[in-house]
Amino acid sequence: MGKEITIEWDWMKEAQFSSIQALHIADEAVLWDLDAAGKNNYMVEITFFDGKLFDTVGYGKAYRKDVKLRLLLLSETSAGTS
């Protein structure tokens, strides 16, 4: 463990960005499912999170673009029952 990985998105809805940003600001280890299938769960620390605000004119919904998230892998956790 101790490896850092970077995840990037071209676009992210503001609500999703705000949720991840709250985890980053809390500065605590969080459980992260890296494959969205429940098989690779890790305790991670969010070491970097940023994205440029992109306000969609006429739609009233803000997005973030060029979003980057860096995770420090602290430990692998049990995937539970299969």
| pLDDT, tens digit, 9 for 90 and up, residues 8-51 | 999 999 899 999 999 999 999 999 887 766 677 889 999 999 99
Please state, in angstroms and rounded to a whole number, the distance separating the CA atoms of residues 75 and 82.
20
Domains: count for the chain: 1
Please check whether residue 72 lies inside any domain of the structure: yes
Q: How many CB atoms lie within 10 A of CB 67?
A: 19
Residue 69 near residue 15 (C-beta atoms within 8 A): no
Residue 81 backbone dihedrals phi, psi, to 5 degrees: -85, 150
Please check whether residue 64 lies inside any domain of the structure: yes
Please check whether residue 34 lies inside any domain of the structure: yes
Please check whether residue 66 lies inside any domain of the structure: yes
Determine the 3-state secondary structure of 32 from DSSP.
strand
What band does 82 get if pLDDT is binned at 50, 70 and 90?
very low
What range defines the domain where residue 54 resides? 4-76
Q: Give the global pTM.
A: 0.78
Please check whether residue 82 lies inside any domain of the structure: no
Residue 10 near residue 52 (C-beta atoms within 8 A): no
